[in-house]
Every structure is written in structure tokens, then in C-alpha cells.
Amino acid sequence: MSTSATTSAPLIEKHTIGYVPPEDRHGKVRDLFTLWFGGNIAPLPIVTGALGVQLFHLNLVWGIVAILVGHLVGGVLMALHSAQGPQMGIPQMIQSRAQFGSLGALLVVLIAGVMYIGFFASNIVLAGKSLHGVVDSVPVPVGIVIGALGSGIIGIIGYRFIHVLNRIGTWVLGIGIVVGFGYIFTHIQTDDFLTRGSFNLSGWLATVSLAALWQIAFAPYVSDYSRYLPADVKVSSTFWTTYLGSALGSSLAFIFGAVAVLATPVGMDTMDAVKLATGSIGPLMLVLFLLSVISHNALNLYGAVLSLITLVQTFAYRWIPTAKSRAVISIIVLLACCFAAVGASKDFIGHFVDMVLVLLVVLVPWTAINLIDFYAIHKGQYDIQSIFQVDGGIYGRYNPQPLLAYAIGIAVQIPFMNTPLYVGPVSAHINGADLSWLVGLLVTSPLYFWLANRDSAYRRRMMGGKLVGSH
């Protein structure tokens, strides 16, 4: 079934936020491994991974342990969201209406859209700087525009092309990063490669949180890239291919950043350290990372556009946009991000990363509610038609149980936060480690389960209607 569908699937994606019917399903579950493995070997995770030794002063061994623990834990949540895609056949954000109601879901959808626009803008700046590093004659602003156009073309073509590029990228980037590791380990330029830094609990917890939050940041759109798979794909298969691809690719990129920084003199910018540490193959590595940024950033544009379409469709509920509508909105977002990035300060990336850290505080409770609702409350059975109705159908405009759990889930994180806007007292006491995400998950999950189950009328309403879901 999947083979014939794949051969007939158009290269330019025709669906946007609408339900993908069985006759349009295509692809193989192994594509999820290559998508999330190849997509995570890029400059931004490399820069983030280096923070464990740069900012939190861990040594190599404890830095690697923290990175692995964070990705292995956070990857579970990310992969559980991915497994929803084949069963639901709709994007992740519009599915949130089944928990929060048609209007109640707007805040989360808006936050997700802003976050991915932030990621897109940050990455086109990285692309511009990378291109300038490879070809000095190309100014950074020109590189930003080129990077944005490349990502824009990929994002507009859509789902199938994104998967194709990442299948190729997995092999190219996988081989490239292994070769890069080999070169660095045989050309270490420092005497304190293994001894720089030490174990400290606050730094270790902070690095674990960085890695876990990297995975959780994919949660609002990860199932967008599994929703075209045939509905009879096993949940376990979708989970494991996504989990292994994302956890392995991200861990390699994070560790590569830490290794490159430790192999070069203290105080170097991470990407400069990568270039120096990889010596004669450095220019090739930068070219590979540049291509990776352009390819992976298409996911951020794609996710942002789907979120914006979801916002508009909430009020224009009869409108299920076409590929043309998606292309127009993609161009508008692309132009706005280019304008902001080219005219922004030198610390543009830092400001956007700070913003993303703040937004993650409000996305963590959403993750908990969505997963508990899907796996424990409804067991994958939802009324797809109601999700697209202006009044929310059986799900209503607002649902008090998830909204209450969501608000409490945000509130309990405040003492544990460490963001540019606010540092909570608990975080300050443990030298800046941000454990808000963990507290948010541990409180919101059982609270929502209890609230949803004790309201019998709510459960009866949820189970009504025509259901589409797990097989």
C-alpha cells in the first residue's frame, strides 16, 4: 500500500492542515530516523552542546554523560508525539483543539508559531555567517538572504522533499561528523583536553536540561512529519525510529561541539573552534553544516506556517488552504524574517535563543496534557470532524480541565526557572540550573489525568462522535 502511494505522491505537497486521507498516505517509517538524525547534525545543536563545558565548566566525561541523559529523556516525549501522526493524520497543533477546545488552543498554537519563527530567523543568521566563513566575498546579509531562500524553497515544496533531502543528509552528515571526530581526536591542540573543567551538580543538571529541552522543542511539530504514513503503521515503530534518529543525531552534534571547544584554546567562539579543530577538513565541514542549516531550517518554516494557518482557520473554519496558500504565507514569513535578521544587532541569535527558553516554559505543560490525553484518556480515538468545526464540535470552544492544568503547570515552574526575564529562587540556589521543565511535567501529567477523569460529563463528551485513531 505504501509503495504505490509513494510513487503517485506529488513532489509539491497539496495538503496543509487538513486530514490526510488513506489514499494520500505514503512513505516508510524508517524515513523518520533519517529525518531526525540528519536534521539534528547542524551548527545550532553544536553551539548548544558546547555550553556544557564553556558555560557550565564540566569536563569531557561528565559533559557527555549529561548530554546523553538529557537527550535520552527528552527524546521519549518527542517520539511519543511523533507516534500520534499516522493515527491522527493531521498536524500536531490543530490536534490540540481536541484537548483545549477550538479557542482554548489558540494560545499554544500562537506560542509554537512564534517559537519556530524565532528558530527560523536564528538559523538564517547562522547560515549567513557560515556562508561568509566559507566564501569571504559573500557579506553576511547576502548569506542570510541566500540561506532563507534555500530553506524557503524546500519548505514550500513540502513534506516529501524534506524527507528526501534528509535521507541524503543522514549519510553525508553522518559520515562527515564521524570523520570530523576522527580528525579532532588525532589533532588535539590543548594539554587539558581531558582535565579542563570538573563535575559540578548545578552545571550537570543545567546541561541535562539543555539537551532535554532541545528534544521537547520539537514536540509541537514532530508529528507533522509522520502524519502521511499509512494509518496501520505500528505506534512502536514510529516511536523507535523517531527516538533513535533524534536522540542519536542530537547527541552526536552536542558532543561534537563540546569536543571541538575542549580541543582548542579557551575563549574561542564555538564555530571558530570547530573550524580550527578540524584543520584541513574544516572548510568542508563548514560547507556540510551550511547545507544542513538550510535543509533543517525548512522544518522551522514549515512548522511556523502550519501554526499560522491553524490560527487563521480557527476563525475562517470553512477554509482548508491549498499548497498555493501555504506558499504565499511561507513567502511572507520568509521576507519578514530576512528583514529582521539583516537589520538586527550582532547578538540576534542570543536574543532569539533567550526568547525560545522563555516560550518553552509554556510549552512543557502542553506536552504533558497532549500526551496524557492521547495515550491515557482517549487512547488515540478522536473525532476529526469536530476538530475542524468553528465551535469545536464535541470538544467545545474551551475545555476547563486542560486549561486549569495548563495554568497550574506554568505556575509551578516559576521557582525553578532560569530565563533572561526571570530567575526563580530555587534555580538561583542551585547556581542557575533550570529544572522547570521537569517540575512542569511531573505536576501537570497526573493533575490533568485526575481532572479529566473525575468529570464524567467531560469524558462522555470526549468519547462521542465519529472517531478516527489507532488501529
| CATH code of residue 79 | 1.10.4160.10
For residue 7, pLDDT over 50 is answered with: no
Q: Which range of residues forms the domain containing residue 77?
A: 2-350
On average, the pLDDT of the chain sits at: 84
Dihedral, CA of residue 130, residue 136, residue 140 and residue 143, to nearest 10: -70
383 domain-assigned: no
pLDDT confidence of residue 6: 45
For residue 286, pLDDT over 70 is answered with: yes
pLDDT category at 471 given cuts 50, 70, 90 is: very low
204 domain-assigned: yes
Mean pLDDT of 117-125: 83
Mean pLDDT of 304-308: 86
Find the angle CA(290)-CA(292)-CA(295) to the nearest 5 degrees: 115
Q: How far is CA 330 from the centre of its chain?
A: 18
| 264-285 confidence digits (pLDDT tens) | 998 888 888 888 899 888 888 8
429 domain-assigned: no
For residue 462, pLDDT over 80 is answered with: no
For residue 33, pLDDT over 60 is answered with: yes
Q: With contact defined as beta carbons under 8 Å apart, do 92 and 81 qualify?
A: yes
Domain count, the chain: 1
101 domain-assigned: yes
373 domain-assigned: no
pTM to 2 decimal places: 0.86
323 domain-assigned: yes
CA atoms within 13 A on the CB side of 114: 17
The 3-state DSSP class for residue 445 equals helix
399 domain-assigned: no
| 153-194 confidence digits (pLDDT tens) | 888 877 777 878 888 888 888 899 999 999 999 988 888 898
86 domain-assigned: yes
DSSP letter assigned to residue 373: I
